[in-house]
């Protein structure tokens, strides 16, 4: 169910509210370009500042727009187990294909606390669950040993691993039957070599077709083509993190004419110096003219 290139889709805003029409447009673009799964309400979707009502709205619109064409992995995590449980129940009820559950952030639970958090939700909601480990944002690392214990729960099927450690990826794959999904664009190809099955991507917001092509090439055994696309996109992948995600990717979509670039505080517009760097980077990939229909570069 979960493989290849999936997008951690941005949440578009207009005058402070979720822009429903634009969200539909962005989802349709992803499917049209070959993205194999849509992940709303993740870190890239600014989930931390969405109200409960908005969170549910974004998931619902995504599910309705996708209409079964590709899987929808709804971000339903929270640093409150009760809140994460309620959102996961909603995702199940509305028809999401799976739940993406981030490790609780800020409160820094122990490994035992992490296990109990995920175990409770998995046992109360019969939906496939993808764990999400991104210690650089949450302040806590879901250790391979804990992931292995969690893999024994039937509906915990995968982990989005964004620790930045290939050693940790190796340990998870070697000690459990969890499907590993890359959470770091620039490490996706090395992780595929270790046995990962796909990526939940930031850069796919910008170049969905090229990233999908890289994953498809790997799956088809065309390693050299996959490697070539990885090297082609590497600078763009890294450029999406010159400031806090999703600031660069939203600014890039604005420069491409696909988004208005509106953020929700405490996230804000990129500094002028970094904006110039981003413009230069997008120019290198011939992406600045996509909105005019004249772009002959990557899509």
Which one is catalytic: 92, 160, 250, 254? 160
Edge-to-edge strands, sheet with 73-75 = 37-39, 4-8, 198-201, 179-182, 156-161, 129-133, 98-102, 73-75
The CB-side HSE value for 21 (13 A sphere, CA atoms) comes to 2
H-state helical runs in the chain: 20-32, 52-66, 81-94, 111-124, 135-138, 144-150, 166-175, 188-194, 208-219, 223-239, 247-255, 272-284
Residue 285 known to be catalytic: no
**Cα distance between residue 253 and residue 25, in whole Å:** 13
**Cα distance between residue 60 and residue 190, in whole Å:** 34
For residue 262, give Cα distances in angstroms to 131, 202, 277: 29, 17, 19
Which one is catalytic: 90, 132, 149, 285? 132
What phi and psi, each to the nearest 5 degrees, are found at residue 7?
A: -110, 130
Closest by CA to 248, choosing from 238, 18, 258, 182, is: 238
Residue 160 known to be catalytic: yes
**Cα distance between residue 58 and residue 177, in whole Å:** 31
Output the CA torsion sign for 93, 94, 100, 102. negative
Find out whether 35 and 13 touch, Cβ atoms under 8 Å. no
Write out the catalytic residue numbers.
Answer: 132, 160
């Amino acid at each position: 169910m979960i493989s290849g290139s999936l997008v951690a889709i941005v949440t578009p805003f207009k005058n402070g509210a979720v822009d429903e029409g634009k969200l539909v447009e962005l989802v349709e673009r992803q499917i049209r370009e070959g993205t194999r799964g849509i992940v709303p309400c993740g870190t890239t979707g600014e989930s931390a500042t969405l109200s409960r009502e908005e969170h549910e709205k974004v998931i619902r619109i995504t599910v309705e727009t996708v209409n079964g064409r590709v899987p929808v992995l709804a971000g339903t995590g929270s640093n409150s187990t009760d809140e994460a449980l309620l959102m996961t129940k909603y995702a199940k009820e509305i028809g999401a294909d799976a739940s993406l559950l981030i490790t609780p952030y800020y409160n820094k639970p122990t490994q035992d606390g992490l296990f109990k958090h995920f175990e409770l939700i998995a046992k109360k909601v019969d939906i496939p669950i993808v764990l999400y480990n991104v210690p650089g944002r949450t302040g806590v690392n879901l250790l391979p040993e804990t992931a292995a214990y969690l893999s024994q729960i039937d509906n915990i099927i995968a982990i989005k691993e964004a620790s930045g450690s290939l050693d940790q990826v190796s340990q998870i794959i070697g000690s459990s039957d969890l499907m590993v999904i890359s959470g770091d664009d620039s490490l996706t190809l090395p992780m595929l070599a270790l046995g990962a099955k796909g990526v939940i991507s930031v850069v796919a917001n910008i170049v969905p077709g090229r990233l999908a092509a890289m994953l498809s090439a790997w799956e088809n055994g065309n390693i050299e083509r996959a490697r070539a696309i990885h090297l082609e996109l590497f600078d763009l992948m890294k450029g999406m993190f010159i400031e806090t995600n999703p600031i660069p990717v939203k600014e890039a979509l604005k420069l491409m004419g696909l988004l208005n670039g509106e953020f929700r505080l405490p996230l804000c517009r990129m500094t002028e110096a970094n904006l110039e760097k981003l413009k230069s980077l997008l120019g290198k990939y011939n992406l600045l003219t996509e909105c005019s229909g004249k772009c002959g570069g990557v899509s």
